[in-house]
Structure 1
């Protein structure tokens, strides 16, 4: 066939797949189907390559070009327009045709002439006839509605950053820009923003259906919950009462669903025909090694390219690249990306069209998120490793089953920090870190708390997580409920554990590998312990993002009883140098022991013989062959029918050798008496030869016994348990960054006191020392505290005290006591230089009370009686907690229990008022 004939053959096939009946002009029968594509239909400017009829009405035209013209299709748009505007032979009515295509068969360009500014766009396939009929029946188009019919956004219940994101997105859509990136910090409400946009696109933009794309089942559940909870500002009903929302769990998309939530894995499975294992939706594709695809996406009439008008891509920095990008290329939809951590790849994919940018730093200033301090724990073995000498008796533990055997080491085994918790486990190193964390949290980080703040520990592997959990429970002397593992392989339901961690008292500490490293909302988190290094800058920022979410005092107190204020910050405890390690722009694929090889073996077993998978499996087996002993290699060779593991690996790699593929193709052609040379082999012949070679190389892995044996051999590589080398903490303290932050916090406090001295009553009281004219009241302190704790300062009493403890440790007392609101008095006095030491307000009141009562007793002919002294101590305690006392205060708490004002009057008589005035002045001064 000529190139033109080949192009038309492909076009015919694609039109037929989309539901069109393709006819030559001499076979014209417009009643044959709803959609008919007529070849070479005559017009007054010549025959159109294809004229499209829907229900007997002409609606569009296709200009067909040979493959070589693919990259120049835009040059033929004028020709298509000429046919679209021409008079059609044998028809009296010949209005301009609206739908214009240019195609080589492989490449399809489409223009809707009714759009405000008609612009060609590339399509994966042709639209179905009913789609064009539906569009033709409407007086407007999706793009015209986006440009002209979107009303102003009601800003009620929306943050400023969310308003900016929705309006910025709608401005981009009004310009028909196909891709838009929303960059919003973790905790700023990306999903809420996306749902707000989805509601407006459905209601005012007339969108038919929106795909909300995630890359893990957990994120899909979380998104579905937010859709169910969302109430639009102009309607009292929930989103799910107004529109059908389907969370996809099969290959069937509900025709009545206006929003479909799906993992990219499931959508790929639907479009490629590759079966999906449910567990594949539990782990992000970005976190799997060699997560290559098995088949190319192909047209699915049940899910046509026009199925979705918009695709909202959650966490779009992760799993939409490489071959998985096919899912996005398939649909004719606007792409809207959501991420807190874009990298260069993300910006490139979305054509640098950033419609909203809200950084983490800005979110902290606005009080949407909280800042963090870094606390470092360094141990000797964490830093430099250790060595196990030959002939030492130690445990050898199976990674998978964790079964142990007591045996001697064969050789000297030196291990570094990178080997730690992988090939060698040092329980004492884990214990040193956990014990130091416990001490630091209780004495330096959150000394005022009665319970352990909600803590998340990042482990290297599932095995490492189990070791950490065992140690945590022992160090804290707690039971199973205290510390839980939250990973995809947890024996308990991870969703239940995660929900309890978020909303209940237990667990206090969670250990994870990857499940809640990104995207998952756990607002009460106040401590993150990194026992795993991370080299990707974006992934590290995502992991830190688990702690940044702000939380009000009441909600925090529900899960952490002794918390007496809103969440103001979190502490990142760095036990592996993660803050200092070099970071790359994009996250390297994680090597996941126990999952990687098994995944590749199963992939080839079910027909996933694409180049990436075959080469990856070959490389894995080459490495494994170097690590196994002779016994294991012999067992594999016997089970495989005499093929050694190295040869199995080489067979996979060589199956894709281009020279060998060409040689096989030539042999096949010669056997069929077809004359071919290397230069004249067709694509089909080369593909057939490659397929045959790959199938032959993969055939041994059809045997489940061989797959199981290879996987079990990998698991038999054991971990050495080093009980011999004790570890010791070499440094424990806040990082230089945290020290600098503390200095900045102290300076911000001093600047605020200076700049607002005339605006707040409490500050006026102190600045008027020693000539004050009125007493300090609790209401004044509350006013000052409210002003300081609001964004952008976020300076709570607890945070200020902690900052002073780091900057001027020798002058700060009572750092390990629980803070009270009246401690703000001590902070102000210390900052203004009225006191040489910073000590809790109650301690200062106690000291002044002792001096005052001693002085009184010395001046009086008769000392205070025991009953009077007891009452004076009650009055002192009230001043310590409330800054002052008046007659009205005798109706409350302990004073009322002792008889109230009447009893106090009986004890002190007419001198009571004078004593109260004197104590207010002396004890607070």
Structure 2
């Protein structure tokens, strides 16, 4: 099969998956179904690869190309077929739906969009969708650009107004991704719902996905949709639109808003059951491994057009790598909401930040409150501890909490990081809680009679239970005083959270992940960290639980001794979370910064530590999955018949501890020694390891093997860098361009000087004012014609560009379209009559203002408002034509308002003198 034939096999399969019926031209049966695709349909410009029919009407074309074709290069070909006359079809307008596809990559253009722009799509759209689109008068993108009314700002903060307007401006420009950065507590969800309402009502969106980080945040978002009342309708949002929070594998066909975690969405696309506990943990806290990449395939039950917009709330780093293909699956605008973006966030959303509202600004605006950090450090927290063998201690099952009293079999040394995981030191917990109690009562909130609402972050559910018991003991309070708010709580966590937010008790809540992000608890005034956090973003979100402002009466309702509104919160750091290293992502290999060619060279020259060997193996495994058969054959042929996957596997196995021990035992036996894993010496193990690594690395000693691996990598792969954001370090022209510009200017000035007596337009500027005739448009046309013809080839655009390069500071209006009359400005600038090169229309405007001001300053020559209106029209005509004459009043802009007769009625016999004066003042 030819490469294009292979592509067509893939295209056919994808079309059938999307519900299309595929037919050859000679066997066409347009009544076979809603959507019929006819291969090789004849047109007056040649046969189209695929012609799409919906309900018997031609609606689109697909241009098939072999793999590795750059599809944007063939868009004109697709457009040509779409505009062609179809045999036996009376198509009077171009077909609106244009696809290019290799079977692996597909691009789509909706020709009815304003400024139609192709976009990559994961899969072909269903014929039912194209039928729906055909019936619509305007496309979604046209509605976004032309039909969104002015935002009603009632009940919206300024930052929310900026966010909605910025987002809608971005959508109107058809920018596929947008990022809204709003500080925690500024009302991101309310802002998002406002946008959702407007997109549904005015843009005609069919369905919108609201993607949340955890199940609890999905519940909270659902509640906010229920509570939202739009500014132009007294009904609740959920009375107007159907909102579904996805809790099963089924999607309500009538739902216009769907709320889901990305884990559930992935399971639905894959048709796999979901472990619901996976929705309880923030993806910010998961460490990614390369094997976790979430691959998706087309699911006809959830086609790519299921959502028009996807709003990613608290967009975390995992959407940029681990779960990225889930988002790429849908043909939808992506909108990110976050308080804590990092460089990956900006990169993923194409640096299209449509609104920025920082935490610092939110504090200044009174939306949020500031915070202080109070540190608690204990000896065990910092250094850990040690237990001797034979000590009698409690042993507790982590899950059942069942205890047994027994002796330690060996010495146990633990660090502060192992606390509350493998070892529990209740004294450490008690000291932290006692110190917090004293500090709050005597230093942090000394005037309070009750404990301020406090949230404690624990490491695990087991750790949370220990904290709760000790808190109740230290404070001498009962069960209601301190509660656990986690997904594994015995009581309903939503009920506890509601009480924590609105009631007097509980005063202290302990959580692991459930209210670490996004959950709104405005009365919080103390956060105690008894766990460290890997992610900087996650830490910022956890801190965000305390930032929300609260009025005096609302705070008094739950904290009765409060003497003012909430003006701050206090972060109590008991584990060094403020000082610990925060990473934005976890490396997927040991040496991610080393280029592949350096890893290959290092191995060849003897750098064979485990990190290097494993990193090289990891790269080769990835590369082998990306190469086509031809490239893999090149590598295998150069490597003596060993395939690239086998080279990678050899490296992995070379440092596998079990296999190294097996080789060490085998080599000992060859020397007549009986060894076991326990009796092997370190030297024997190291020797076996080095032997295995040397054999695995031997193929890379051959420089030709290294060269071919690097070559196929360069040929095949492009890296899309979302990390390093660009900035302008220099803006200017190259030395060669500047030299060419100077030559152009010199050619122009030489020609002016040489032909000043031959060309009427040039003669006009060289004559003294009292000798000048009227400059006419015909004179400018003559000069333009001479300059733009060979050998000079000096167009107005070329001359203006040359001056902009050489005399940058003196040239204005380089970004405006050139008019022929701008040649007047060029000549004046070249002759030194003007210090700045400005568009001719700008010069006329300036002179007109000066001229009319002089007249109006004198009572005898002042113009009436109606005369001034006509003078402005006359000025605009001069700017376009170089002069104004009686015959010009026949032009539409004058004729529509009464023409010469009206002008004569306004100015009388002075009309001619006014025209002469304007021709002289505004041009000379």
Q: Which TM-score band (shorter chain)? A: 0.5 to 0.7
Give the match for residue 189 of structure 1.
187
Once the two structures are superposed, the pairs formed by residues 339-350 of structure 1 within 5 Å of their partners are 339-350=338-349
Give the match for residue 47 of structure 2.
47
Give the match for residue 574 of structure 1.
573
Q: Counterpart of 2:108 in 1: which secondary structure?
A: strand
Give the match for residue 553 of structure 2.
554
Once the two structures are superposed, the pairs formed by residues 705-744 of structure 1 within 5 Å of their partners are none
Query: Cα deviation per residue 1:345-390 (whole Å; 9 max; x = unaligned)?
Result: 1111101111111111110000000001111112222222232233
Instruction: State how far apart, in whole Å, the 2-side matches of 1:562 and 1:256 are.
Output: 50
Once the two structures are superposed, the pairs formed by residues 217-236 of structure 1 within 5 Å of their partners are 217-236=215-234
Question: Are 2:524 and 2:546, in contact at CA under 8 Å, matched by a contact in 1?
Answer: yes
Shift of 1:277: 2.2
Shift of 1:275: 1.5
Q: Does 1:399 align with 2:398?
A: yes
Instruction: State how far apart, in whole Å, the 1-side matches of 2:392 and 2:254 are.
Output: 67
Distance 1:536 1:92, change over 3 A: closer
Shift of 1:397: 2.3
Shift of 1:318: 4.4
Q: Counterpart of 1:256 in 2: which secondary structure?
A: coil
Give the match for residue 491 of structure 1.
490
Instruction: State how far apart, in whole Å, the 2-side matches of 1:377 and 1:587 are.
Output: 28
Superposition TM-score, scaled by structure 2 size: 0.63
Shift of 1:151: 1.1
Question: Are 1:215 and 1:319, in contact at CA under 8 Å, matched by a contact in 2?
Answer: no
Q: 1:96 aligns with which of 94, 99, 107?
A: 94
Question: Which region of structure 1 is more displaced relative to structure 2, 187-196 or 251-260?
Answer: 251-260
Once the two structures are superposed, the pairs formed by residues 316-355 of structure 1 within 5 Å of their partners are 316-355=315-354
Shift of 1:656: 14
Once the two structures are superposed, the pairs formed by residues 174-323 of structure 1 within 5 Å of their partners are 174-290=172-288, 296-323=295-322
Question: Are 1:88 and 1:94, in contact at CA under 8 Å, matched by a contact in 2?
Answer: no
Superposition TM-score, scaled by structure 1 size: 0.63
Query: Cα deviation per residue 1:226-276 (whole Å; 9 max; x = unaligned)?
Result: 011111111111111111111112222222221111121111111112211
Once the two structures are superposed, the pairs formed by residues 666-705 of structure 1 within 5 Å of their partners are none
Distance 1:580 1:677, change over 3 A: closer
Shift of 1:285: 3.1
Distance 1:147 1:228, change over 3 A: same
Shift of 1:485: 1.2
Give the match for residue 68 of structure 2.
68
Instruction: State how far apart, in whole Å, the 2-side matches of 1:300 and 1:103 are.
Output: 19
Question: Are 1:145 and 1:205, in contact at CA under 8 Å, matched by a contact in 2?
Answer: yes
Once the two structures are superposed, the pairs formed by residues 445-594 of structure 1 within 5 Å of their partners are 445-586=444-585
Give the match for residue 442 of structure 2.
443
Question: Are 1:213 and 1:314, in contact at CA under 8 Å, matched by a contact in 2?
Answer: yes
Shift of 1:534: 2.0
Give the match for residue 433 of structure 1.
432
Between the two structures, name the one with larger relative contact order (CA 8 Å, sep ≥ 6).
1
Q: Counterpart of 1:378 in 2: which secondary structure?
A: coil
Shift of 1:305: 1.0
Question: Are 2:317 and 2:344, in contact at CA under 8 Å, matched by a contact in 1?
Answer: no
Question: Which region of structure 1 is more displaced relative to structure 2, 117-126 or 571-580?
Answer: 571-580
Once the two structures are superposed, the pairs formed by residues 654-669 of structure 1 within 5 Å of their partners are none
Query: Cα deviation per residue 1:284-310 (whole Å; 9 max; x = unaligned)?
Result: 333334586586312122221111110
Provide the alpha-carbon RMSD of the alignment: 3.0
Query: Cα deviation per residue 1:769-806 (whole Å; 9 max; x = unaligned)?
Result: xxxxxxxxxxxxxxxxxxxxxxxxxxxxxxxxxxxxxx
Shift of 1:188: 0.3
Query: Cα deviation per residue 1:437-476 (whole Å; 9 max; x = unaligned)?
Result: 1111111111111111110111122221111111101000
Query: Cα deviation per residue 1:559-601 (whole Å; 9 max; x = unaligned)?
Result: 1122232111111111112112222234799xxxxxxxxxxxx
Question: Are 1:371 and 1:548, in contact at CA under 8 Å, matched by a contact in 2?
Answer: yes
Instruction: State how far apart, in whole Å, the 2-side matches of 1:657 and 1:534 are.
Output: 33
Shift of 1:405: 2.4
Question: Are 1:143 and 1:174, in contact at CA under 8 Å, matched by a contact in 2?
Answer: yes
Question: Are 1:539 and 1:587, in contact at CA under 8 Å, matched by a contact in 2?
Answer: no
Distance 1:176 1:676, change over 3 A: closer
Query: Cα deviation per residue 1:579-625 (whole Å; 9 max; x = unaligned)?
Result: 12222234799xxxxxxxxxxxxxxxxxxxxxxxxxxxxxxxxxxxx
Give the match for residue 17 of structure 1.
17
Instruction: State how far apart, in whole Å, the 2-side matches of 1:432 and 1:481 are.
Output: 22
Instruction: State how far apart, in whole Å, the 2-side matches of 1:522 and 1:587 are.
Output: 31
Instruction: State how far apart, in whole Å, the 2-side matches of 1:92 and 1:394 are.
Output: 90
Instruction: State how far apart, in whole Å, the 1-side matches of 2:368 and 2:561 are.
Output: 21
Q: Counterpart of 1:336 in 2: which secondary structure?
A: strand
Instruction: State how far apart, in whole Å, the 1-side matches of 2:568 and 2:279 are.
Output: 33
Structure 2 alignment gaps of length 5 or more: 589-616, 649-924
Distance 1:522 1:679, change over 3 A: farther
Distance 1:396 1:223, change over 3 A: same
Question: Are 1:80 and 1:102, in contact at CA under 8 Å, matched by a contact in 2?
Answer: yes
Shift of 1:527: 0.4
Question: Which region of structure 1 is more displaced relative to structure 2, 247-256 or 151-160?
Answer: 247-256
Shift of 1:540: 1.0
Instruction: State how far apart, in whole Å, the 2-side matches of 1:231 and 1:140 are.
Output: 28
